[in-house]
Amino acid sequence: MKIGWIGIGVMGKSMVNHLLKKGHSVLIYSRTKAKAEELISAGAIWAESASSVASSADCLFLMTGYPKDVESLLYNEGVMEALKPDTFVVDHSTNSPALT
């Protein structure tokens, strides 16, 4: 399974690190690449855009700060259009029930 992860904050970094330690390949993206450097050094694969993560993932994890961030990723940065059929999307973001 190809795992994609968007959002490398405190929680996202820790969770991706656990996946890497278990031997999973994880394609990652964050607005700030510097936040991802430690994970890249640990074996995560950097993607240049959120939509490129979405187009490659069988399971896509989102971990952003606010509903506006999720909406921007999904609708303005091309994530929804890039998803393959049958991709699982798991949103760990702080979110509104209506958007979820």
Q: Is residue 14 predicted with pLDDT exceeding 90? A: yes
In a domain, 50, yes or no: yes
Q: What is the pTM of this model?
A: 0.92
In a domain, 99, yes or no: no
In a domain, 73, yes or no: yes
Q: Is residue 100 predicted with pLDDT exceeding 80? A: no
Q: Is 70 exposed, middle or buried (0-12, 13-18, 19+ CB in 10 A)?
A: buried
Task: Convert the pLDDT of each residue in 37-46 to its tens digit.
Answer: 999 999 999 9
E strands, the chain, where?
Answer: 3-6, 26-29, 45-46, 59-62, 88-91
In a domain, 96, yes or no: no
Torsion angles phi and psi, residue 60, rounded to 5: -115, 125
In a domain, 69, yes or no: yes
In a domain, 16, yes or no: yes
pLDDT of 93 reads: 86
